[in-house]
Structure 1
Amino acid sequence: MVNVSVPHSEVTALLEESDLDFRFHSKDDDFALKTYDTNIMGRFSCPNDECGSTGWSSKKIAITIRMYTGDKYNARVYHQRCQECKRLSQPILDDSYAERVAYRLKKWSGVEMEAPVYGGESNGPHIRSLCEGCKAGHCSEGKWYC
């Protein structure tokens, strides 16, 4: 469970549509005004050069979005372990990251909007023992069974 460093210009652009200006809070702490667990999508590749894994995609990458005083936010992205060698892998995120973070910040800021429809076909079983979000109690899959 490491805070992934990704460009936040996409989040900023989506917030500007609603005249909101949030800065990224680089300190990943629990002193937030608001906290929300959700999931995003992305792809993983095993960092172990000796592993035979070709990588995997996931429609359930757990994240925790936090809002802090002074119009600041961050999002902790939880990693997953390789099914073959169990090494921890950092995700390559898709557009769902910026969309979900911006949606939550807009909602917390009182912006009226329709709830987005998330979904799509699952690309395989969610293996809780390999999900760092499940282990930390922040994955929607793991919350039912932790």
Structure 2
Amino acid sequence: MPRKERKAAKLWSLHPKLHDDVAQVLDEEGLQIDFLDADDEATNIKDRDTNVMGRFICLNAGCNFSGWSSKKVAMTIRMYPQQRYNARVYHQRCRNCKAVGRLVLDTGSYVERVTYWLKKWNGIEVQPPDFSGQSRGPHNSEL
């Protein structure tokens, strides 16, 4: 019997289900911005690389490393014409086996980062975020 083709692990994800949380914060400033499900690097009018927090679970059954948390999960926020946006969140690899981990995103940090940049791009004065958190582990950029 032929081997079953394994799907390649996704290296990034969009989170349209969090748009309601984003929209609620933006509504406080009178902003109406829609989520764009299609991630298109060619048609965006603004973008920003930033970081959010999250946890990753190693899905490799042969790996003895169950998961890890990260205060530095890379993300690219993009603004598109017609008041639309999306945010690509990049997944990390397990330090032990190099498999791509499954992301459990910190919703609060995602909403804060996305709304910060959407407000700023729309001319609303915003306070820069507080970066007082201390890292408790190495961040391997190769992963």
- TM-score over 0.5 for the pair: yes
Contact preservation (8 Å) 2:91, 2:103: yes
Match of 1:75 among 61, 81, 87: 87
Residue in 2 that maps onto 1:4 = 14
Alignment-derived partner of residue 101 in structure 2: 89
1:24 matched to which residue of 2? 35
- Residue 134 (structure 2) pairs with residue 124 (structure 1): no
Distance 1:42 1:3 in 2: 13
Residue 3 (structure 1) shift: 2.4
Distance 1:3 1:119 in 2: 27
**Is the contact made by 1:3 and 1:28 (CA closer than 8 Å) also made in structure 2?**
no
1:52 is aligned to 64
> What residue ranges of structure 1 are gaps of 5+ in the alignment?
131-146
How far off its partner does 1:22 sit? Answer: 0.9
Instruction: Give aligned-pair identity as a percent.
Output: 49
RMSD (Å), alpha carbons: 1.2
Q: Which has the larger radius of gyration?
A: 2
- TM-score, structure 2 normalization: 0.86
Structure 2 equivalent of residue 110 of structure 1: 123
Shift of 1:62: 0.4
Distance in 1, matches of 2:126 and 2:70, equals 27
CA distance in 2, matches of 1:82, 1:109: 38
Shift of residue 14, structure 1, vs aligned partner: 1.1
Is the deviation greater in 88-97 or in 60-69?
A: 88-97
Deviation of the 1:55 alpha carbon? 0.6
Q: Is the 8 A contact 1:57 1:123 kept in 2?
A: no
Q: Deviation string for 1:18-60 (max 9, x for gaps)?
A: 1111111111111100010000111111111221112100011
Between the aligned partners of 1:92 and 1:123, the Cα distance in structure 2 is: 18
| TM-score, length basis structure 1 | 0.84
Q: Is the 8 A contact 2:18 2:111 kept in 1?
A: no
